[in-house]
Amino acid sequence: MSYTNILSEVTEGVATVTVNRPDKMNALNAATVGELDACFAELGADSSVRVVILTGSGEKAFVAGADISEMADMSAAEAERLAARGQALMNRIENLGKPVIAAVNGFALGGGCELAMACTFRYASDNAKLGLPETGLGLIPGFGGTQRLSRLVGRGRALEMVLLGNMITAVDAMAIGLVNTVFPQAEFADAVMIVARALAEKSTFTLRMALQAVNDGLLVDQDSGCRLEAALFGVVGASEDAHEGCAAFMEKRKPAFQDR
C-alpha cells in the first residue's frame, strides 16, 4: 500500500515506518493518523514482519505533536472523535503482538510523545526532547498520554509533565523511565537497528506471548496477572519453539525457531 504522509519498508523481517512530514515537523494530522493505523494493521497481519521501528523523517523531530490547525474551534463531539481515533491507533501499536521500537530522533511532543509511549521500547538520540505541552494550549493529552505516562513514570512525575507541560531532555527522560536508552545522534540509527535485529532472531510466537503477559497483566491485580502468566507459560512451554530453544541450549547451538 502506498501512503502520502508516511514511508514504510521491510528488510529482513524489520519494518521501518517513518512519519514523513518534515515541513510540519512530522506533526500528526488526521490523514497521518489514518495512514499509520492502516500501515500498522498491514504490518501486524504480515507474518514476514517480526519487528517494527517507528521514527520521523530528518533529525529535528520524531513527531512534534498534533496538527494544531485541525484542532482550532472544535466542538466537544469533534474533539472526542479526534481523541478516539488517536487512541485507537495507539492501542493498535501497543497491542500489535510484535515489538515496536520508537526511534525518537528530535522532538516528541504531544501526540508524538503519546505515539512513542504506545511503543514497546523508546530509544532516543541525544538531541531528543519529550513532553506533553497541551495545557499551554488550553487542552489536555487526548491520545492516551495521561494514562500511559503515569504507568511508565509514576503519578507524581506524570502530573508534573502533564500540568506544567514542560519539555524534558532525552537524558532526563531516561532517568525517570520514559526512555529506555539514549544514544549519540551519530550512532543512533545503527544502535536501534542492532536491537531490532536481535529481536527479529527470536520466536515471534514467544515474543507475542510475552507481550500479552505484560500488557494484559497490567490491566489486572498481581495475583490475576500471575495466573495469566502461568497460563501463557503453559502454552509457550508446550510449543515447538520452546522445545527447539531448550534443545539448542543443551546442544550448544543457535536455535532454529519456526514461530510456533
Strand 129-131 relative to strand 168-169, pairing? antiparallel
Question: Distances from the Cα of 257 to the Cαs of 143, 191, 240, 247, in angstroms?
Answer: 36, 24, 8, 11
Q: Going by C-beta distance under 8 Å and a sequence separation of 6 or more, which residues neighbour residue 78?
A: none
One-letter amino acid identity for 114? E
Residue with cell 494530522: 29
Q: 114 near 141, Cβ under 8 Å?
A: yes
How many angstroms from the chain centroid is the CA of residue 235? 26
How many angstroms from the chain centroid is the CA of residue 249? 31
Strand 51-56 relative to strand 121-125, pairing? unpaired
Q: What totals of helices (H) and strands (E) does the chain contain, helices first?
A: 10, 10
SS3 233: helix
Catalytic residues: 114, 134
CA-based torsion, 66, 71, 76, 82: positive or negative: negative
How many angstroms from the chain centroid is the CA of residue 159? 21
> What cell numbers appear for 48 in the block?
514476514
